[in-house]
Structure 1
């Protein structure tokens, strides 16, 4: 049985240099280790998700210090205990790339397509941008999905491409490079 315990930390605050430095230093000082993270700037806000591992005592001390860290770092912080991910159900990681004219509902339509097929969205990043030369607003989606091993990939790819054609999305779906 593993002696490691896990804490997922979400932090949000006004973007400025040094946030990652200060937060990672605090985690290290508690004797914990960052095992996975995602961070980005959205508008003027900085957002970070971290999975931190440590023994039960170090994570408990860290949880008890969240209010102080929030004040010290001027961040809104949420922490939640978790466990290592269950990998007993095999899945195939695939990358999905989509580009289209920007309009409401694209993320929902994609999420619905995969959800109806019991395909989990593992990671997703989206962005809006002005197309070169024309300035037309475009939208791009990059996601990694976990496809259950019992799904016929060629059929899924055909269904996905037809789905995207029907709603005017340019898309690819291909195996993730490890």
Structure 2
């Protein structure tokens, strides 16, 4: 009887360890790549082709031209060995494209079920400090800015320099949204910022 119990216990441990192993092997592995360099045609083609040739896939990315510089951030998905291949070819790619390229391994982003995604849109006459005052408002309330883009343009007819901001923020589910929205609108009104704070449709 004792021998049977011992065998049964060992089997349970083995199955538990197997479950942990399966979780580890099915979890996605990523490589975050940032690239910066003088803009010219073909950069996106070279970056994406290199990643594809190593057996990896671009799962998410942000690419733009700032001034005369091309900037890109890519989330590359693959197996450990294929991501290693990408890491190994990046120095040569950096030299051939004349870019500054860095990379870092990362894992899957944890799901925040206690956060509600909201979109923030702000437009105002361009002046220094707009991004900082918006970031300060959310930081003071422990609200994370998950995504942000900004742009400048000339207003129609008048040609006035304008500044536009779009953000995605993760608001804790426990937050009283009506109060937060009122505080945000008052904050923006005091700075002559036209603002909108609305839930994102998932």
Q: What's the TM-score once normalised by structure 2's chain length?
A: 0.84
- Is residue 121 from structure 1 mapped to residue 148 from structure 2 by the alignment? no
Please state which structure has a larger fraction of its residues in helix: 2
Q: Which residue number corresponds to residue 48 of structure 1? A: 72
Quote the Cα distance in structure 2 between the aligned partners of 1:89 and 1:114. 19
Equivalent position of 2:178 in the other structure: 154
Give the match for residue 105 of structure 1.
129
Higher relative contact order (CA 8 A, sep 6+): 1
Other-structure match for 1:86: 110
SS at match of 1:65: helix
Shift of 1:89: 4.6
Query: Are 1:77 and 2:101 counterparts?
Result: yes
CA shift for structure 1 position 106 = 0.4
- Consecutive unaligned residues in structure 2, runs of 5 or more: 1-22
Return the alpha-carbon distance in structure 2 between the equivalents of residues 57 and 4 of structure 1: 13
- Decide which structure has greater strand share: 1
Distance in 1 (CA, whole Å) between partners of 2:56 and 2:42 is 19
Residue 54 of structure 1: how far off its partner (Å): 0.9
**Aligned positions, number:** 178
Tell me the equivalent position of 1:33: 57
Normalised by the length of structure 1, the TM-score is 0.95
Helix, strand or coil for the counterpart of 1:28?
A: helix
Number of the residue aligned with 1:20: 44
CA distance in 1, matches of 2:127, 2:100: 31
Distance apart, 1:67 and its partner CA: 0.8
* 2:31 aligned with 1:7: yes
Q: Which runs of 4+ in 1 moved over 2 A?
A: none
* SS across alignment from 2:35: strand
CA distance in 2, matches of 1:4, 1:169: 41
Q: 1:64, CA displacement in angstroms?
A: 1.9
